[in-house]
Amino acid sequence: MLKKIRIELMGMALMVIFLVTVATLNVGTVNANTTDKKTSDLKWVTKNVKGIGNVTAREDMFVGEGDNITLTVNKDYQENGLITPVFEKAPKMDTITVETPYGNVTVSRDEYNRSGKDKIMADQKAFIEKRNELIKMGKINITINKQDTTQMVPQVLASSLSVAATGEYWSREDQHFARKNGLQPHFIYGRIIPHPERRESGAKTYSSYHELELHLNANGDVIEFISDEGNSLQSSVWVYLTHNGYPYWYVVSLDNVAYYNSVEYYFNYDTEYNNWKLYLYEPATGRTSECTFASTIQLSTYIDWMSASTEFLHSDPCPDVLLESDIDQWVMQVGSTYYNPTDVFNADYKTTDIFVDVTKWSGNGQYTTFHASGNTVP
């Protein structure tokens, strides 16, 4: 069956959304042979969250009232995927950029004050040294085969998405990866390649996100690496994470990524310091966005299962657009031993939906997923 969510914006005539939604819940049904849609029985609402602004999400994701409203993960995220709220405006982090011999590193001001410049520079040195080690081992493919762009649909610069109060729908497709052999990987390294946005001229009535979800071993701990189509000239790649059911937005992000520029992603649980280390690295520019995430609550220590997903918020009828990304899974680590992803995870079941696609293939022990969303996607 094909699955949909219809979003009701609670009387708001218009909402402008920047760099927003990541994942959705598959509920409701639509007959594959007709365009008639049945909306979900699960209610979506818009509430003001202090320090963030207006947020649209499923009702069960809000906790508290008035100034005490906060957000949590959807209760069925382990079965149906993580829902990330829709922001009226994307939350902005207070960041500092540190110049190092290995490129510029952007971190939050809190991390800079906590760790200091010397520690950030040392961590960047260690990160680049590990990357160089993986290149020598043949685990990292630094080449990109660009596609011919001469036949592309005319592109239109669009920095925001206008969403009307009715007629907006989610489409979602997932490729699930199940852990095997009892291995408990605490590290993954890979690459995201955003493709150019292709669409006809006119108002932008959609937003799409291509992602790799890392579901960790403790309830409420999820890391998402996201390719966000941005506008017709550039993309954004960013990380959304939840810990103990509490969401953290844009802890790591790279904006203004030129299409076909690869962005390498890195996740590691550090057993010595009991923290998560997250990197996004753009080799073409040398830019790095980094986060060291620690908590008084015990963090997950390994990746339990994964999902490669395509999310697509769009008007009805679906607009004339095609959005695409590639996401590579290059290498994993258990203890001091490196593994090919195909030795750690099986690609098992896949969900289906209209206007979205996730296609998986493997080679040399690595997985690649191709993500597409648009009206021409079956």
Q: What are the pLDDT tens digits along the chain (378 aa)?
A: 333 333 333 332 222 222 233 332 222 222 222 222 333 456 767 788 887 788 777 788 899 998 899 888 878 877 777 776 766 666 677 899 999 999 999 999 999 999 999 999 999 999 999 999 999 999 998 876 544 333 333 333 233 333 332 346 778 899 999 999 899 999 999 999 999 888 766 667 787 889 999 999 999 999 999 998 755 668 889 998 999 988 887 789 998 898 899 999 999 999 999 999 999 999 999 999 999 999 999 999 999 999 999 988 788 888 888 999 999 999 999 999 999 999 999 999 999 999 999 999 999 999 999 999 999 998
- Measured CA to CA, the distance from residue 279 to residue 263 in angstroms comes to 10
Q: What is residue 282's predicted lDDT score, i.e. its pLDDT?
A: 96
Task: Point out which residues pair with 234 in neighbouring strands.
Answer: 258
pLDDT at residue 168 in the model = 66
Number of C-alpha atoms within 13 angstroms, CB side, residue 151? Answer: 2
Residue 146: C-alpha distances to residues 39, 201, 377 (Å): 40, 24, 21
Does 353 fall in a domain?
Answer: yes
27: in domain: no
d(CA 68, CA 88): 19
* Nearest in space to 85 (alpha carbons), one of 49, 52, 56: 56
Domain count of the fold of the chain: 1
CA distance 266 to 328: 12
Does some domain include residue 165? no
Specify burial of residue 222 (Cβ count, 10 A radius: 0-12, 13-18, 19+).
Answer: buried
- The one-letter code for the residue type at 333 is Q
Alpha-carbon span 75 to 82, nearest angstrom: 9
Which among 22, 103, 138 is positioned nearest to 282, based on CA atoms?
103
What is the distance between the alpha carbons of residues 185 and 5, in angstroms, rounded to a whole number? Answer: 34
- Residue identified by tokens 């160089």 is 132
Place of tokens 């990160």: 127
Neighbouring C-beta atoms of residue 64, cutoff 10 Å: 13
**Cα 215 to the center of its chain, rounded Å:** 12
Q: Which domain holds residue 221?
A: 139-158+172-312+319-374
Which two three-digit tokens encode residue 156?
């239109």
Output the domain CATH number for residue 199.
Answer: 2.60.120
Residue 262 falls inside a structural domain: yes
pLDDT of residue 9: 30
* Max intra-chain CA distance, the chain: 61
Q: Is residue 181 part of a domain?
A: yes
> What's the start-to-end Cα distance of the chain, in Å?
14
Q: Is 37 domain-assigned?
A: no
Which of 265, 304, 238 has its CA nearest to residue 78? 304
Q: How far is CA 362 from CA 22, 60, 330, 347, in A?
A: 25, 38, 10, 10
